[in-house]
Amino acid sequence: MLRLTLALALVACGGGSSAKDAPMNATIQTVSCTGITPAATVTTNATGTAYVMPATTISQGQVVEFMMPAAHNVSSATAGLAVDFGQTKCLMFTAPGTYSFKCSVHLFTGTITVQ
């Protein structure tokens, strides 16, 4: 009974791995945002209820700029795919795959597909 309750709680709260499609050899590198033109920019909408660019496709080796306002962040089960509250961070994706992420507070989600 306890296992069933825990499983239902995880489903209801959006628990579990948010990056199960990321490749095993996933490499995400933090790079300087200065002097680059990112392939995509992810932020939140004006009401803070969703990511703007909730899903985007880039080529391997391209950079995505994440611009998070103070009330939102980016979290993921994939190492390196994290942006703190109020932070701007540029991340280079070096392995093909689908990388899922979410706001850990509000649970809205997004994906980066790397080809």
pLDDT single digits (tens) 13-48: 344 444 446 666 678 999 999 999 999 999 999 999
Tell me whether residue 2 is in a domain: no
Tell me whether residue 89 is in a domain: yes
The tally of domains found in the chain comes to 1
DSSP string, 22-34: S-TT--EEEE--T
Tell me whether residue 84 is in a domain: yes
- Looking at residue 54, its pLDDT comes to 96
Q: What is the pLDDT of residues 54-76, one digit of tens each?
A: 999 999 999 999 999 999 999 99
Q: What is the CATH number of the domain that holds 52?
A: 2.60.40.420
C-beta atoms surrounding 104 within 10 Å: 15
Q: Alpha-carbon distance 60 to 27, whole Å?
A: 10
Tell me whether residue 9 is in a domain: no
- Looking at residue 71, its pLDDT comes to 94
